Chains A and B, each alone.
Chain A
Amino acid sequence: MHPPRPSVTAIVVSHDGARWLRETLEGVLGQTRPLDRVVGVDNGSRDGSAKILTEAFGPNSILTLPRSTGFGEAVAAVLDRLPRAGGEEWIWLLHDDCAPDPRALEALLWAAAEDEKIAILGPKLRDWLDRRTLLEVGVTVDRSGRRDTGLEPREYDQGQHDGVRKVLSVSTAGMLIRRDVWEEFGGLDTGLPLFRDDLDLCWRATAAGYHVLNVTDAVAWHAEAATRRRRRMAASSDHPRRLDRRNAMFVVMANLPFRSLVWSLVRNTFGSLLRTFLLLLAKQPANALDELVAMASVLGSPRRLIKARKARRQGRKQGYPHVKRLFTPSGMAYRRLADMVQNYLSGSGPMDSAGRHHAVISEPSKDDGDELLTDAGLMQRVFGNPGVLLCLALVAVTLAAERSLLYGDLLGGGALVPVVGGASDLWQFYTSGYHASGLGSDGWAPPYVAVLAALSTIFLGKTWLAVSVLLLGCVPLAGLSAYVATRSMISYPLARVWLAASYALLPVATGAVAGGRLGTAVVFVLLPAYAALASRVITGERRSARRAAWALGLLLAVGTAFAPLVYVLVAVLGGLAAVSFGGVRRGVGVSLGIAMAVPIVLLFPWLAQIAGDPGRILLEAGLHRPGLVDPRLPADALLLLSPGGPGMPPVWVTGGLIAAALAALLFRRHQTVVIVGWGVTVFGILVAIVASRVPVRGAPAWPGVPLAFAATGLIVAAALTGHRVIELNQAGGLRRAGAAFLVLVACTSPVLVAGLWIKDGTRGPLQRGVPSVISDFAAASSTGGESTIVLRSGADKRLAFTVLRGRTPLLGETELPVPDATRRRLSDIVAGIAGGRGGDDAVTLATYGVRFIAVPAPVDPKVRRSLDSDPALVRVNLSAGAGLWRMVQPLGRAYLVDDTGRRTPVPYTQTSGGGLTVVVPPGPAGRTLALAEPAGAWTATAGGSTLAGRTVGGWAQGFDAPAAGGRVTVAYAAFWHDAWLWIQVVLVGLVLVLASPGARSAEAAEEYVEVPVEREAQGVLVR
């Protein structure tokens, strides 16, 4: 029993589509299953589409409508006029830019015959131009209305998605729909003139229990003319993207049951804001605006939404489970995020997936296996990548070698101050104009504090985590950075693996970890990025070169903040490159100038501070201690890239690397680059020699940064010849042996360093569980910002001290500049106390805001005796671990001095930015309110009037105390500091935007404008 043959009516809606229409009509008329009726609708075309339609279908089958008619309206207008055929009747909707395959209708109808519930079917859509590219095999959405085709961008159709399956929605291009179903739902919602009307209809149909199928045996080629802006739209004046977004949100919100709607509302709002931000980052302000406007227009007209929801009320909730199954699975969101990050990293902008249409997800139950398969593909892709494997290996080596540093309390030692405080403390430190730490300073906080603060913020405020990752993880990070950075320089992946491993496992890295040298660790990770960006600046296409220049400037600023010497190294090479390439390639000079100027501008106030003390250029973030460097670094160590100090493997381990780089000189290919690499090496070693021979504050600097720089050149030179070695290997015979030997020699360096590192562990001053020099008691008793003098006797009877304000200093606080005069004065006082000179040293010390003197173990008996015998000090406790003495009469951060010189402490509360609110008791005139802070831009106001300032004791800030007493507000005027901070924020934002990959829409559009013309010509030929 055959069911009666159904009747099919094709409706082709045309609107300025002459370019595609001929081919479309050929496809419609050439169907293997002949159509029962064909109707053409022309929405006021101006390019002769109507004529073409009339030629094809005859004048009786043509309907002409105004230009502003939407697709849904046009179809509805046809159906109004079209009499029923009786029996089962299907409508086949076609766009003017959608050419069906001759067998398309046959396949669709065959599939439709399977089940009575099947109401809507759609063909597999392929690209009009690139005929093998898949566009859609069904479309679904996630709860935020984001369209998802389930396809990779530009995925080729190799039958991988074939089959008939249930989908949430199919495009109206080629949609075959039962007429009764169409009429049941009132057709496409005319409120959605262009986009997502199909989704809306299919959703309603699915919710009502009908099935929507995608039939891949049916194929249609679709130009997506409207979405790609290849024709002007008359149906709506809005930008298509904006319209698309708005309709997407509208459809989702109109069709979701109430409870899901609330969630979706929240999600959409935040999602849109985030998307807007990302789009801004990607320098696509127009898209960002569209996103915002789309959201606003949906949320801005609630009445329309309520009306639409009312119309869809029936069966919405009951049908939702059917719909829900067809949504984008949640795992897809992560995958898409991963893809987005990947895209961003590859430089194509974070938003590339926006333009393409994605599709298909079928019934999850049916597709479980497929999902697993795709996941396996991802795993395979990830773990098959030599870079990932290398990183994992380096992580394993690092974990094994740093086993003693992985767990425990405070991380510190060597050059690293124990890491205390959180991101907010670091931000507060960086942004305040006056630092009430140590002796008090109005200098600029080192800018690396801001970098660490930003990182810590990312790590949920945990500074220790950020520092651990940067310092302890510098080996795998450097490996990753070297592997990724050389992607465009070296094509042969194994050579890159060797390069990354050799670079990451340099003695500089193990030394930086052992010595707690955060500065070197960061620069070590950044150097390969500098190399890659610099090469892009010099050789890249103009726009990308400029972008690379901004990025290089920004990263160079970060590196310079940690170790200023890297700027000098890069700037000298940059200058040389500008001289050599400036004349050859346009814009290279300017780009290099940008890269060199950005760090100076971003770091300006701090760099000016550094310039006042040029020796600091050789130093890096953290403490400079003589014990951490080899003052007599042998010449061979310098040449073998071994910077000396703790954590060094034997100097000869890098011999293989040097030998490989020397051998690289013998190959003729890439000889120029190899020579440049060697030039960089020679220059780096020269700077390293200077750095290790010039004493700065009693000890030479650690030449880690220049040696890492030298190694970069060396390793790149050696790795460039990697493929040549493979060629030798393939040549066989003696050459093969030579190649094998060369590889063996080259690999000794990373293998030996890794092996020795694991064997010895990190035996450096860096350790976990550094005891705090400030006892809990002292910390708890110093809530008013009072200071503690920490006095430690060194190995050779030398004493050293510092001033801390009731807590271990934050990273960078130890690098605040202290005026020499203050340093000397205080040293004299503390020496008097520690030596037992007697007198009023301790009383004078109280004017510096000192409340405690802490002596960490081992407590020198002489010092102990001296402190014990000072009548102005009282011992709080003394144990094997530490001793603590307190002032009998501490003065705190503010006190009054009367005519006779008698000092009395006054109650005060601390305000942010180092300021104070002091309550001055009434008393005689002529008193001075003194602060235990160096004189500077302090202001004091009492009752609206400003107090006259003066200097007390030759260094401290004082004010004329009001005789009547009262509340005095003391603050530090830091207007210029704050202004500079804002300038920095703006500049960093600007540089970030200029450096990030930009939009590619312009390029894409160009590409398409040209090609369709050709297609048209072809079409004519075919005819």
Chain B
Amino acid sequence: MRALIESRFGFLALVLVAMTALFGVAFVTRPGVAAVPPATPARVAVQSVATVCPDPGGATVSTITPQGGTGAGQATVTEVKAKASPLARLDQPGLLWQRDVPAKSGPLEIAGAGAMAAGLEATQTTRQAAGAARGLAGVRCVEPGSSAWFVGPGPAAADVVLYLTNADAAQAVLTVMVYAGEGPVVSESGNGLVLKPGEHRAVRMRDLAPSPLVMAVEVRTISGRVAAAAKAVLGKGKGADWLPAAAEPATSVVVPGIPGGGGLRELYVTAPGDSDTVVHVKALTRDGFYAMKNRESLDVPAGSTASLDLSTGIGGQPSAIVLTADVPIVAGLMVTGTGTKQDVAFSAGAVAIDIGSVVADNRSGKKISSRLILSAPAAAGKVRVQTLPRRGAAPPPVDVEIPASRSKEIKLAAPGGRGDYSVVVLPQPGSGPVYGGRVLDESTPEGLLITTQPLALARTWAIVPQIVESPTVVLP
């Protein structure tokens, strides 16, 4: 020890030993590469839902809340006006409620809370055997929101009416934008529409933009929320139907639920941004992806809508259209039924039904049929299909598998063999993204009556993100 201290190198050695020891400690205690645990969003049952049926006069309104919520709950059906008392109070989840609404009724608000909220779904369906609006026309009652997209024929091809409802307690100010085939239509009358609380308004698109043959309509609120829906009447003998709300602009869009059989299939694509784009079009049939000859792509100028006839391309198969572009696009599709008097139906870009989907109004019978067309553009899908009757017990659910990159058509049967019913489609764990549409058609001597509805996300679960209180948010 003494020698160590007296040696010139003694302390150097000691320090080196100490440093080595420190290095060892630091090395050993160094944590391994810890994979950051992915944020696992929690699912919570939706506590309240409000939907607005835009124009239920003369239509059948169907509403359903699937079972699954906890505790009690109540749903009310109320006409949207200043002082309204509920038309009906519902407290039975799992049972379909239907009512034929007298004509001249204003929009109906169907609001559920508690157990009657999770998955609340409502539809209005009209069946007219004659007249200009002959045909089956159905629309999903919409939740008020800040923006809505509709893609379909323009006022030059059809009489398109926009139904705008403000069911909230706050005033809504909104703007209607039209993207026609020639580009965006600048119109003063579509700007700054004011809807007072409880007010609803039907806007004829002809008044905003008379000339477009095809168009996309964007309803955007500047403040407040609005429930928007659009109905297109093509004219006597040409049919009528509601335009379903299209998914928000995205670079990849799936238009699901295209029924098989004859008739026109016309695709509308809008590029609302500032740059032109080439949209790649592929059909997803029960045999897989299918690039249609001469219809592989579609040029869409910036801010305008383009259309493409896919009737021969799809070849009458039930399918979905998958569109990809390098700028966000919105898409819609028109289906024409066969017969001497035609009826039309519309589909639109939809989102994957990750947390399930509910279709309130389905009918099956001798001449009338309801079918689901499910597509799995990526991994294989696995869904559970459950039908819910108006009364009585629900039949056991059916599991359906959709192979990867395939579409599949599922015929729905009424529980107990008759009556109207609702259907719940629930992807099972491990399923890839599934898109779908529901087709409802009825054959009449003059021709097929048809309506389609892309499957929308059920309002069952809210994906509650992981959230922390942290003052770091004051900095980017």
CB within 8 Å of B: which residues of A? 412-414, 417-418, 438, 623, 625, 631-636, 638-639, 662, 665-666, 668, 671, 674-675, 678, 682, 685-686, 689, 693, 765, 770-771, 773, 790-793, 796-804, 808-809, 814-815, 818, 823, 826-827, 830-832, 834-841, 856, 861-866, 868-869, 871, 874-876, 878, 888
- Chain B hits for A868, CB < 8 A: 145-147, 225
Contact A871 B223 (CB under 8 A): no
Q: Provide the bound-state CA to CA distance between A46 and B225, in Å.
A: 106
- Chain B's nearest CB lies how many Å from the CB of A651? 13
Closest B residue to A675 by CB, please name it: B11
- Chain B hits for A773, CB < 8 A: 473-474
CB within 8 Å of A: which residues of B? 8-9, 11-12, 15-16, 18-19, 22-27, 29-34, 36, 38-39, 41-42, 44-50, 113, 117, 143-147, 168-170, 221, 223-225, 248, 462-476
- Chain A's nearest CB lies how many Å from the CB of B133? 31
Q: Provide the bound-state CA to CA distance between A836 and B460, in Å.
A: 11
- Chain B hits for A685, CB < 8 A: 22
Contact A635 B44 (CB under 8 A): no
Contact B223 A635 (CB under 8 A): no
- Chain A hits for B32, CB < 8 A: 632
- Chain B's nearest CB lies how many Å from the CB of A635? 4
Could you pull out 26 A-B pairs where Cβ atoms are within 8 angstroms?
Answer: A413-B475, A413-B476, A414-B475, A417-B471, A417-B475, A418-B474, A625-B472, A631-B31, A639-B22, A674-B11, A682-B15, A685-B22, A689-B22, A689-B29, A771-B476, A796-B38, A799-B466, A799-B467, A800-B469, A808-B474, A826-B469, A827-B468, A827-B469, A835-B42, A837-B462, A838-B117
Given contacts A693-B31, A797-B41, contact A770 B476 (CB under 8 A): yes
Q: Provide the bound-state CA to CA distance between A802 and B16, in Å.
A: 48
Q: Provide the bound-state CA to CA distance between A634 and B26, in Å.
A: 7
Closest B residue to A686 by CB, please name it: B22
Closest B residue to A690 by CB, please name it: B29
Q: Provide the bound-state CA to CA distance between A823 and B23, in Å.
A: 40
Given contacts A798-B39, A802-B472, A839-B46, 4 further A-B contacts (CB under 8 A): A799-B466, A818-B469, A834-B465, A876-B223
- Chain B hits for A689, CB < 8 A: 22, 25-26, 29
- Chain A's nearest CB lies how many Å from the CB of B338? 38
- Chain B's nearest CB lies how many Å from the CB of A869? 6
- Chain B hits for A831, CB < 8 A: 42, 464-467
- Chain A hits for B466, CB < 8 A: 797-799, 831
- Chain A hits for B117, CB < 8 A: 838-839
Q: Provide the bound-state CA to CA distance between A682 and B15, in Å.
A: 8
Contact A800 B48 (CB under 8 A): no
Contact A834 B474 (CB under 8 A): no
Closest B residue to A633 by CB, please name it: B30
- Chain A hits for B46, CB < 8 A: 836-839
- Chain A's nearest CB lies how many Å from the CB of B292? 31
Given contacts A639-B19, A874-B223, A888-B170, contact A798 B474 (CB under 8 A): no
Contact B471 A666 (CB under 8 A): no
Contact A835 B41 (CB under 8 A): yes
Contact A665 B462 (CB under 8 A): no
Contact A802 B467 (CB under 8 A): no
Q: Provide the bound-state CA to CA distance between A862 and B15, in Å.
A: 58
Contact A797 B47 (CB under 8 A): no
Q: Provide the bound-state CA to CA distance between A871 and B225, in Å.
A: 8
Contact A888 B467 (CB under 8 A): no
Q: Provide the bound-state CA to CA distance between A790 and B113, in Å.
A: 28
- Chain A hits for B471, CB < 8 A: 417, 438, 623, 802, 809, 814-815
Q: Provide the bound-state CA to CA distance between A830 and B24, in Å.
A: 46
- Chain A hits for B113, CB < 8 A: 839
Contact A869 B468 (CB under 8 A): no
Residue of A635, A682, A809 near B26 (CB, 8 A) is A635
Residue of A666, A800, A818, A861 near B472 (CB, 8 A) is A800
Given contacts A862-B463, A874-B170, contact A639 B474 (CB under 8 A): no
Closest A residue to B8 by CB, please name it: A666
Contact B168 A871 (CB under 8 A): yes
User: DSSP majority for the A interface?
Assistant: mixed
Contact B221 A832 (CB under 8 A): no
- Chain A hits for B469, CB < 8 A: 800-803, 818, 823, 826-827
Contact A838 B462 (CB under 8 A): yes
- Chain A hits for B168, CB < 8 A: 871, 888
- Chain B hits for A412, CB < 8 A: 474-475
Residue of A686, A839, A856 near B476 (CB, 8 A) is A856
- Chain B hits for A800, CB < 8 A: 467-470, 472-473
Given contacts A639-B26, A871-B144, contact A837 B464 (CB under 8 A): yes
- Chain A's nearest CB lies how many Å from the CB of B354? 12
- Chain A hits for B38, CB < 8 A: 796
Closest A residue to B465 by CB, please name it: A799
Given contacts A417-B475, A773-B474, A802-B470, contact A835 B465 (CB under 8 A): yes
Considering residues A693, A798, A865, which has the most beta carbons from chain B within 10 angstroms of its beta carbon? Answer: A798
- Chain B's nearest CB lies how many Å from the CB of A366? 63
Given contacts A773-B473, A868-B225, A875-B146, contact A662 B468 (CB under 8 A): no
- Chain A hits for B463, CB < 8 A: 835-836, 862
- Chain B hits for A871, CB < 8 A: 50, 144, 168-169, 225
Closest A residue to B36 by CB, please name it: A796
Q: Provide the bound-state CA to CA distance between A635 and B30, in Å.
A: 7
Given contacts A635-B23, A682-B22, contact A838 B473 (CB under 8 A): no
- Chain B hits for A866, CB < 8 A: 462
Q: Provide the bound-state CA to CA distance between A878 and B143, in Å.
A: 20
Closest B residue to A665 by CB, please name it: B12
Contact B473 A682 (CB under 8 A): no
Contact B223 A875 (CB under 8 A): yes
Closest A residue to B172 by CB, please name it: A874
Q: Provide the bound-state CA to CA distance between A588 and B270, in Å.
A: 83
Q: Provide the bound-state CA to CA distance between A864 and B225, in Å.
A: 13
Contact A839 B47 (CB under 8 A): yes
Considering residues B462, B469, B475, which has the most beta carbons from chain A within 10 angstroms of its beta carbon? Answer: B475
- Chain A hits for B23, CB < 8 A: 635-636, 639
Contact A869 B225 (CB under 8 A): yes
Contact A801 B169 (CB under 8 A): no
- Chain B's nearest CB lies how many Å from the CB of A497? 25
Please provide the 3 A-B residue pairs with the shortest distance between their CB atoms, ordered closest to farther. A839-B47, A835-B464, A814-B471
- Chain B's nearest CB lies how many Å from the CB of A588? 25
- Chain B hits for A874, CB < 8 A: 170, 223-225
Residue of B9, B27, B30, B143 near A869 (CB, 8 A) is B143
Given contacts A412-B475, A875-B146, contact A693 B29 (CB under 8 A): yes
Contact A809 B474 (CB under 8 A): yes
Contact B473 A861 (CB under 8 A): no
Contact B18 A682 (CB under 8 A): yes
- Chain A hits for B474, CB < 8 A: 412, 417-418, 773, 790, 802, 804, 808-809, 814
- Chain B hits for A888, CB < 8 A: 168-170
- Chain B hits for A418, CB < 8 A: 474-475
